[in-house]
């Protein structure tokens, strides 16, 4: 039974607010002893400071309840993604098909695809704007959204009449997993599919060729683009370089060559073995993944949380409270910022060794985009992160990382200028969705690669720039950066302290940032 939270919007002196607060405290401390502490949900603590019941009670009376805390996930209530991934109770424990449903829940961010038949039909009617339950001004989903909904419903069909354990999509995913793990050829997969078509009962929905299986995977958005890259990270073989056989900058061959073959010879004909590229970038298109954020009513509503539901009390609790966000809103108040559904993104990237062995030198760089329109409890959760690309190793791309970011930059430019026609399941209307990249998130070495600022040498600090206070360590053979006392208040005692620092007093002002 859903709990009533309307009391959170009432005055703290009202009977409803007092009764609601007591109900919350009973729920949060249910079965707990006197010494138990839980996160305090008041406006000041915002679930950061754990406190006992008496202290939480006093804080709620003094500061009030955080109005954005509408789902009590820090006090035992299920989060959105937990409730969505459970299905409707027709799943058995240990059923492998639940993993596929979880994957689909992640794919469409909020649709309960694992429900029973009635729920599926109701969800399909809601998603498709059924005339019997929609308003006068509701629109049918555009062709792309309608094709996705139909395909998703088709993929959740029973494998054959009476099969409750395996769906069409779960079979396809498992077959693909076996193909990748065991290195099955395309012809072997075609023969396996033909065998299944012969032995399964009539009315089954298994595709009879691998090409049809790949079409399902591709239309669901589970695929990616393979873009050949120069082995020395000079260029990507796309656009004007798509037909080249060697790098136009370093002349390195695009293909891996067999032992004894001339690297400059023409590529093999179609009858011969297909050439293998030396390095491949995996790129996941951004636009369809952003469009799917609006294909379910709940998630589509959350995408406007930063403007409709966020409490602006001059406290930093969300990126929407930051100066960068407000600067963009002020610059483009009549265009981009006018529609709260336009997506604000952050880009995070770093290198890691996928093999987990220190003895192997290998660096792979994933690039992840984070949509910040969502509330704080969702925007930093993994289902809402968007994998943009996987930059291959074995060596770090270094300053040439901008070569690999070209497909993403082109798509971001298009989303900023032209946008993308998107179906909003909450409004049941199409709208033109735009997106912008607000900032990047990375450590200092990755900052040097992404932004082109040298983080080594005399002027390494991007904040102090030419006023960087450096000191060369003769025996350590590296630079040490001093002058941090400049940021302290003018009357701070450490400004006059010599013995704990460099035997000098500090009277300079803090440098003006770039």
How do residues 163-195 score in pLDDT, each as one tens digit?
Answer: 877 788 778 878 877 887 788 888 888 898 888
Q: Which residue has the tokens 């890691």?
A: 352
The answer as to whether 144 is a domain residue is: yes
Residues 6+ apart with CB under 8 A from 49: 39, 40
Least Cα distance to 68 among 237, 270, 302 occurs for 302
If asked whether residues 444 and 461 sit together in one domain, one would say: no
How do residues 298-354 score in pLDDT, each as one tens digit?
Answer: 888 889 999 888 888 888 889 999 999 999 999 999 999 999 999 999 999 998 888
If asked whether residues 24 and 128 sit together in one domain, one would say: no
Number of domains in the chain: 4
If asked whether residues 56 and 155 sit together in one domain, one would say: no
Predicted confidence (pLDDT) at residue 240 exceeds the cutoff of 50: yes
If asked whether residues 396 and 506 sit together in one domain, one would say: no
Q: Which residue has the tokens 């996941």?
A: 284
If asked whether residues 192 and 133 sit together in one domain, one would say: yes
Least Cα distance to 174 among 95, 85, 114, 288 occurs for 95
**Last residue within a domain, chosen from 179, 202, 219:** 219
pTM above 0.75, yes or no: no
**CB of 173 closer than 8 Å to CB of 181:** no
pLDDT band, very low/low/confident/very high, at 279 (cuts 50, 70, 90):
very high
Residues 6+ apart with CB under 8 A from 78: none
If asked whether residues 354 and 498 sit together in one domain, one would say: no
Cis-peptide into 495, omega within 30 deg: no
**CB of 102 closer than 8 Å to CB of 85:** yes
* Cα 407 from chain centre: 17
The answer as to whether 372 is a domain residue is: yes
Residues 6+ apart with CB under 8 A from 367: 347, 348, 349, 387, 388, 389, 390, 391, 405, 408
Q: 370 φ, ψ to 5°?
A: -120, 120
Residues 6+ apart with CB under 8 A from 180: none
The answer as to whether 242 is a domain residue is: no
**Last residue within a domain, chosen from 427, 450, 473:** 450
Q: Cα(469)–Cα(484) distance, rounded to whole angstroms?
A: 8
Predicted confidence (pLDDT) at residue 109 exceeds the cutoff of 70: no
Identify the domain containing residue 141 by its residue range. 91-219
The answer as to whether 268 is a domain residue is: no
One-character DSSP codes across 166-217: -BHHHHHHHHHHHHHHHT--HHHHHHHHHHHHHHSPTT----SSHHHHHHHH
Q: Which residue has the tokens 């009973």?
A: 26
The answer as to whether 143 is a domain residue is: yes
Quick one: tokens of 35?
């010494």
pLDDT band, very low/low/confident/very high, at 129 (cuts 50, 70, 90):
very low
**CB of 279 closer than 8 Å to CB of 363:** no
The answer as to whether 37 is a domain residue is: yes
If asked whether residues 466 and 441 sit together in one domain, one would say: no
If asked whether residues 327 and 432 sit together in one domain, one would say: yes
Q: Which of 61-65, 143-147, 379-383 has the lowest mean pLDDT?
A: 143-147
**Last residue within a domain, chosen from 48, 77, 106:** 77
If asked whether residues 412 and 511 sit together in one domain, one would say: no
H helix or E strand, kind and range, residue 229: strand 225-229
- Comparing 147 with 107, the larger pLDDT belongs to 147
Q: Cα(123)–Cα(130) distance, rounded to whole angstroms?
A: 10
Q: Cα(14)–Cα(4) distance, rounded to whole angstroms?
A: 15
The answer as to whether 170 is a domain residue is: yes
**CB of 352 closer than 8 Å to CB of 359:** no
How do residues 398-439 score in pLDDT, each as one tens digit?
Answer: 888 999 999 999 999 999 999 999 988 888 888 999 999 999
Quick one: tokens of 196?
């299944």
If asked whether residues 291 and 173 sit together in one domain, one would say: no
The answer as to whether 199 is a domain residue is: yes
Q: 106 φ, ψ to 5°?
A: -70, -35
Q: Cα(52)–Cα(32) distance, rounded to whole angstroms?
A: 10
Q: Which of 247-251, 277-281, 385-389, 426-430 has the lowest mean pLDDT?
A: 426-430
Q: Cα(200)–Cα(202) distance, rounded to whole angstroms?
A: 7
Please, what's the largest Cα pairwise distance for the chain?
89
**CB of 174 closer than 8 Å to CB of 181:** no
Mean pLDDT, rounded, of the chain:
80
One-character DSSP codes across 452-509: ----SSTT--TTTGGG-EEEEETTTTEEEEE-GGGGS-TT-GGGG--TTTTS----PP
Quick one: tokens of 253?
């061959």
If asked whether residues 12 and 145 sit together in one domain, one would say: no
CA distances from 278 to 119, 188, 258 (A): 48, 26, 12
Q: Cα(261)–Cα(265) distance, rounded to whole angstroms?
A: 8
If asked whether residues 41 and 180 sit together in one domain, one would say: no
């Amino acid at each position: 039974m859903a709990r009533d939270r309307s009391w959170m919007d009432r005055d703290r002196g009202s009977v409803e607010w007092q009764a609601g607060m007591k109900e919350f405290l009973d729920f949060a401390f249910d079965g707990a002893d006197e010494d138990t502490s839980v996160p305090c949900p008041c406006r000041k603590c915002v679930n950061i400071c754990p406190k006992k019941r008496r202290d939480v009670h006093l804080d709620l009376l003094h500061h009030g309840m955080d109005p954005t805390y509408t789902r009590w996930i820090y006090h035992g209530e299920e989060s959105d993604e937990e409730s969505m991934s459970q299905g409707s109770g027709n799943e058995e424990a240990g059923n492998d098909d639940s993993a596929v449903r979880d994957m689909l829940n992640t794919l469409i961010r909020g649709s309960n695809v694992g429900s029973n038949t009635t729920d599926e039909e109701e969800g399909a009617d809601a998603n498709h704007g059924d005339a019997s339950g929609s308003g006068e001004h509701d629109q049918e989903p555009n062709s792309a959204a309608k094709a996705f909904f139909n395909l998703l419903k088709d993929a959740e069909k029973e494998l054959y009449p009476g099969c409750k354990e395996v769906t069409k999509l779960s079979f396809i995913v498992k077959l693909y997993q076996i193909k990748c793990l065991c290195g099955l050829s395309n012809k072997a997969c075609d023969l396996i599919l033909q065998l299944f078509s012969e032995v399964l009962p009539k009315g089954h929905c298994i595709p009879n060729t691998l090409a049809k299986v790949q079409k399902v995977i591709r239309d669901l958005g589970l695929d990616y683009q393979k873009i050949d890259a120069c082995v020395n990270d000079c260029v990507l073989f796309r656009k004007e370089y798509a037909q080249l056989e060697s790098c136009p900058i370093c002349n390195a061959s695009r293909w891996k060559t067999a032992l004894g073959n001339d690297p400059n010879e023409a590529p093999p004909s179609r009858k011969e073995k297909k050439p293998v590229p030396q390095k491949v970038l995996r790129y996941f298109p951004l636009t369809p993944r952003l469009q799917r954020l609006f294909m379910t009513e709940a998630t589509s509503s959350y995408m406007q949380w930063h403007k409709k539901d966020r409490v602006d009390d001059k406290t930093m609790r969300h990126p929407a409270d930051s100066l960068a966000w407000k600067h963009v809103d002020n610059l483009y108040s009549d265009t981009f910022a006018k529609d709260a559904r336009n997506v604000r993104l952050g880009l995070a990237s770093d290198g890691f060794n996928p093999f987990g062995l220190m003895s192997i030198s290998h660096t792979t760089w994933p690039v992840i985009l984070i949509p910040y329109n969502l509330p704080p409890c969702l925007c930093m959760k993994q289902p809402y992160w968007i994998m943009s690309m996987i930059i291959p190793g074995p060596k770090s791309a270094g300053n040439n990382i901008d070569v690999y970011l070209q497909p993403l930059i082109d798509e971001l430019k298009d989303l900023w200028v032209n946008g993308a026609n998107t179906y909003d399941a909450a409004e049941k209307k199409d709208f033109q969705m735009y997106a912008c990249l607000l900032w990047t998130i990375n450590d200092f070495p990755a900052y040097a690669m992404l932004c082109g600022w040298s983080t080594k040498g005399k002027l390494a600090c991007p904040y102090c720039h030419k006023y960087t206070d450096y000191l060369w360590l003769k025996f350590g053979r590296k630079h040490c950066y001093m002058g941090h006392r400049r940021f302290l208040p003018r009357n701070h005692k450490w400004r006059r302290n010599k013995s704990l620092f460099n035997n000098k007093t500090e009277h300079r002002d803090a440098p003006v940032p770039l």
